[in-house]
Amino acid sequence: MTGQPRSDHFGHSANEANHKHRVQFLIGGDESALPELEAVLSTLPLCATGRVFVEVESEDQIGTLDVPPRMTVTWLPRSRRSGAPGSGSRCVQGEAFSRAVRAWAGEMLCDDPEEAHVWLGGHYRGVAEAHEYLTTSLGVSADVVQTPPAYRLGVKR
């Protein structure tokens, strides 16, 4: 070595190479699916990266979730959110987590949507909207998006 750093280690290139193929976990749901959501979180590897969005009715329902260190949890109390923009309506069950999932995925999964594992649970409205956006708009394979079986989302008819 001449004391010069190798060209493949300048700036962020070495880090970027290691992170480009890291699977992102995206987990979203409302309070009706909290037990299932917690069960899914318990199965994640310690090195998992990604986001967890949990919608609840009010701030007093915010709790603590055990997640891997590289996962971020965002609690979404409906009592502090409005419904559809410009409508003046109240945020309905499933709406807040669906918006959050779609916003995060639109930014973080746009380059490589196949490097994702998604779990969605809760009210049908939120799950269906998020599933539709992920699979239709972003091109995420329905095979990597887990939803309640009763909703039959991603099932070819």
Domains of the chain and any CATH numbers: 23-151 (3.40.50.80)
Please state, in angstroms and rounded to a whole number, the distance separating the CA atoms of residues 148 and 73: 21
- pTM for the structure as a whole: 0.83
Residue 27 reports pLDDT greater than 70: yes
Go through 114-133 and write b for each residue having 16 or more CB atoms within 10 A of its CB, e for each that does not. Answer: eebbbbbbbbeebbbbbbeb
pLDDT interval class at 89 (50, 70, 90): confident
Average pLDDT, the chain: 85
